[in-house]
Structure 1
């Protein structure tokens, strides 16, 4: 309380000094300025006469300059007289001192009075640990006990010993306490003792993001990609990789990743409200409707596709509540209408492979995985040599298997992988399908060869490269 009072008095005194100095200072500014200007103009006249004598300027030039300087000199003299006359009406030194004294008395009295009425001078300050506990959703006792546990574990592991699980547990404890730098250090120690599981990689990436003030740095991105290499559906990794794309200026890809996560998440998942808000915000800032962006998994390195929508069909995304797919109600209704029109057209003119492919993509967005697979199957049947359609068909089969928790991949998936091997052996997407097919059939050597080949053709900073490298490590490749 004493320190608070001293600080209050000190600040009050500083404010009074700043207010008093202008009042007590002699008010001669305008006159002094005008007098200075007049002296400058007189010096200019003398310099002009010397220039004329030396022949630097002609007589005509000198007359013109002399006339301008005289005009300015007269204007400065008029300003000085006006300033002198105006200052005569200003308060004298006694009046200024009286005003200063009144401010010195009234300002502290009013300040103390307002604080005594509106503030809580007798209320003690809350300890930092107590405030942190409240922010983290812990009671003070829980936070204290957790911190004691973390410090005890840190001391026990200070010599670098301990199992990987010990370091992971320490990282989780510091992360729960909000000390993300210490959490990240613990996860780093755990990673040095061998590959982590998907959940630990995701926690490590999240700690990195929090320690970097919300920025998804390269280290965090690498951790999330390693998590997805082991668990393709990990929601944290997919969310933060979408955020990384948006932060890097690639809003369409970020929205595509988030929409892919949205369509794979239960409507009541705890992250859905935040995810919908992120999709709407990114779409608004980028000036694109969310529904115009095709969903993409972070490990899918293909370019994100956007679909042109009819102008004026729906208000901006911030003016309506988006659904779980990132659609506003009007946009969802419009998508349903577009899909129905496409179905009607294909019913009357079924020989349209591009139309069937578009239908397959649209149904996949709406989580109609069976309908999506059937549409792509028809597209492949009508245009069997189209590499892009084959790849989309294979991905649709894979997505359906993952979302329906199928214990195995369907024969059609292996057929697409075999077709890619025969007709497009160097296609990166085909290498991806073939590698997954080989792993699924326990053909480790073939999978290693395919993941190695995919790594060689993909940029080192691409998700597909990171996944291929992780799959090679998981398969024990050297």
Structure 2
């Protein structure tokens, strides 16, 4: 419980008491009743006078009748005002009753507020959220506190476990500080908190990944158990498939590795690590001594020349990842029909994007009429744009042709905000 929370709660309770107690102690119902009666009489008098004026104007009554009825109406008003009951002073018993109700409210309202909040409030979730926000701040000062914040989040989650987002953040935080066994435990807890089988499969896949790191790449019992649970819920869980592919590749079972990784390409074509997965597939085919069927060029493609603006050449190292994407125009951030991955040290370079660089065999650049080409220097190595990345794009869509056209120049001159 935080001091700030209780101060705010106290102010709100005081306001609630003011709304209840003030009318009880300071209201004067008798005087209000008398005032209301006088106002009603006055309104009736004015209404009747308007009627008399209208009748006189219309010739319904003459001047003498008008004067007589007006005098009678004024006399009636004076009688009503004179006979109005004077407000009675509050009796002692009424005063004592009001005081009793006020004192009872002062005690009952705060007590009820605290009891109801303990029953239905969410202070534990608030504390978890505040810790999660603090952990998500990615500056150098916060890095030093990551271990303490992770321990605080774990304590709060163990006390109030019904928070899937909290367990997911705890697992990621343990991965960040390289406490992989604890990360696997957190992801297993996450699997018990998410409602649907697909989300449970993802949680078990993440647990398998954490255990794989903990075992330093060995396919031990913890890893195989988590993979089995993930694939029992979803045979195509991508984290599990990725680990199986890595293990098969390390055992020189290249065809098995290809099968697992190509399945990821088929079921998750927008996977953020797809270029790396595709590169692994290509290497597996090379180890088998055969050409990747998906990368056999059809001859159709686009030729580009990628350059880095002079003012940015000193801001990136030679081994920084460089991606060149070709997308179908008019489809927003659609899946690229071709992606080439190189390094900034290769710049400037000339490149022909064709079916050798396809990400998904079912969506090839040779099947399109024209493409938009973008080049990005990724400081994080991630194909998804991140703030600080350097980027450039062709000014217009480039026709896809079978013959080798002069390259279109793409200048990388923009920093991703």
TM range (shorter): 0.3 to 0.5
Larger strand proportion of the pair: 2
Task: Provide TM-score, normalisation by structure 2.
Answer: 0.33
Rg (Cα) greater in structure: 2
Task: Provide TM-score, normalisation by structure 1.
Answer: 0.30
